[in-house]
């Protein structure tokens, strides 16, 4: 009996263990392929020069620049709206209310919408409806009613809204109710309580959401390919109304549209390596921020 149980236990350890090994192996293969295929392309020029000769030579600087540009606008749009929504849902809204439940359900459903749908929505809503409407009322054409960084970033923002909201709500939930009560009992207003007691403790959780949002925004192609990302641009974008190149889309374009795929593959591999390194280091930054604010909080700063 005892022996049987031990064997059963060992089998289960073996099964779960091999699942872990499998995952680790897959990750190692993916990373290995990209690193081996891409590291030779990496150089200072690769990161600071534009691509040349129909994407068979040169660097990826415009794609990095465009990505940073669009992610900044995305953050400016998504963080305030997302954090405000979460604060309302968690701190102000009455939990039992039907409207609250509806909003929360809507947020969860928004998270489940495929990213390509966001892309099409951005095209229809931002570019044609809002952009076209703006152009019409300003009496011009083709300024706002065309794909550009602004609309692509807003589309990304929309897609990442649930992530920020959920992360913020999670962070707010982690703040003990007793501390809110303590602040209110001292004659702090609701907002003062949120501002001076709740938010300082929620910041690390919110930052985690922000970092995840950046990672996800950097990796997504579908929402931006109709709304602003360009196939190839000979110049850098200057205004939010310009089109832009971005790393994810650039990789897609290089691997599918290159006139000389053998010459392009190392560049595409290098670009992929850069994208991966960026998202990994972003996650690292997130972890550092989180543990730093946590230890600061524990010290009571």
Partner 1 sequence: METKHNRLEIRDFSLYYHRTKALEDISMSIPEQKVTAIIGPSGCGKSTLLRSINRMNELIDGVAVEGEIRLDGEDIYGRNIDVVELRRKVGMVFQRPNPFPKSIFENVAFGVRMGENGRAKDNLDQVVESSLKEAAIWDEVKDRLHRSAMELSGGQQQRVCIARALAVEPEVILMDEPASALDPIATAKIEELIFRLKEKYTIVIVTHNMQQAARVSDFTAFLMLGKLVEFGATDRMLTNPGNKLTEEYITGRFG
Residues lying near partner 1 in the complex (CB under 8 A): 94-96, 176, 178-189, 192, 196-197, 201, 297-301
Using H for helix, E for strand and C for coil, what is the string for 136-177?
HHHCCCCCCCCCCHHHHHHHHHHHHHHHHHHHHHHHHHCCCH
SS3 content of the chain, % helix, strand, coil (to 5): 80, 0, 20
Residue 227 near residue 151 (C-beta atoms within 8 A)? yes
Dist CA 38 CA 275 (whole Å): 11
Shortest separation between residue 98's beta carbon and partner 1, angstroms = 13
- SS3 label, residue 52: strand
Residue 103 near residue 89 (C-beta atoms within 8 A)? yes
Q: Which is nearer to partner 1, 44 or 98 (CB)?
A: 98
Mutual orientation of helices 199-219 and 61-87 as an angle, nearest 10°?
A: 140
The two counts, helices (H) then strands (E), for the chain are: 13, 2
- SS3 label, residue 79: helix
Shortest separation between residue 285's beta carbon and partner 1, angstroms = 23
Q: Which is nearer to partner 1, 81 or 93 (CB)?
A: 93
Shortest separation between residue 196's beta carbon and partner 1, angstroms = 7
Shortest separation between residue 102's beta carbon and partner 1, angstroms = 17
Shortest separation between residue 297's beta carbon and partner 1, angstroms = 5
Q: What are phi and psi of 262, to 5 degrees?
A: -65, -35
Shortest separation between residue 164's beta carbon and partner 1, angstroms = 24
Q: Which is nearer to partner 1, 5 or 301 (CB)?
A: 301
Q: Which is nearer to partner 1, 75 or 194 (CB)?
A: 194
Dist CA 55 CA 114 (whole Å): 30
Report the Cα–Cα distance between both ends of the chain, in Å, rounded: 57
Q: Which is nearer to partner 1, 15 or 178 (CB)?
A: 178
Q: Which is nearer to partner 1, 135 or 170 (CB)?
A: 170
Residue 158 near residue 115 (C-beta atoms within 8 A)? no
Shortest separation between residue 187's beta carbon and partner 1, angstroms = 4
Shortest separation between residue 190's beta carbon and partner 1, angstroms = 9
- SS3 label, residue 49: coil
Q: Which is nearer to partner 1, 186 or 288 (CB)?
A: 186
Q: Which is nearer to partner 1, 4 or 298 (CB)?
A: 298
Dist CA 265 CA 262 (whole Å): 6
């Amino acid at each position: 009996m005892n022996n049987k149980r031990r064997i059963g236990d060992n089998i289960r350890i073996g099964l779960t263990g091999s699942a872990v090994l499998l995952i680790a192996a897959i990750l190692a293969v993916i990373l290995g392929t990209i690193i081996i295929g891409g590291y030779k392309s990496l150089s200072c020029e690769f990161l600071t020069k534009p691509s040349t000769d129909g994407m068979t030579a040169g660097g990826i600087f415009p794609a990095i620049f465009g990505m940073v540009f669009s992610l900044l606008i995305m953050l400016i749009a998504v963080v305030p709206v997302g954090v405000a929504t979460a604060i309302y849902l968690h701190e102000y809204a009455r939990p039992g209310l039907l409207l609250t439940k509806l909003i929360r359900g809507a947020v969860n459903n928004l998270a489940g919408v495929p990213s390509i749908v966001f892309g099409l929505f951005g095209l229809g809503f931002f570019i044609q409806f809002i952009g076209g409407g703006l152009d019409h009322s300003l009496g011009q054409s083709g300024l706002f009613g065309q794909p550009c960084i602004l609309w692509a970033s807003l589309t990304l923002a929309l897609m990442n809204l649930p992530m920020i909201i959920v992360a913020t709500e999670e962070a707010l939930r982690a703040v003990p109710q007793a501390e809110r009560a303590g602040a209110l009992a001292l004659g702090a207003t609701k907002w003062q309580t949120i501002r001076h007691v709740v938010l300082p403790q929620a910041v690390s959780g919110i930052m985690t959401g922000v970092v995840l949002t950046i990672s996800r925004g950097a990796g997504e192609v579908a929402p931006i390919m109709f709304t602003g990302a360009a196939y190839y641009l000979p110049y850098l974008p200057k205004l939010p109304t310009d089109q832009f190149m971005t790393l994810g889309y650039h990789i897609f374009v290089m691997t599918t549209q290159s006139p000389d795929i053998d010459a392009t593959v190392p560049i595409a591999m290098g670009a992929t390596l850069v994208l991966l390194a960026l998202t990994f280091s972003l996650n690292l930054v997130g972890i550092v921020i989180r543990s730093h604010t946590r230890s600061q909080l524990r010290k009571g700063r």
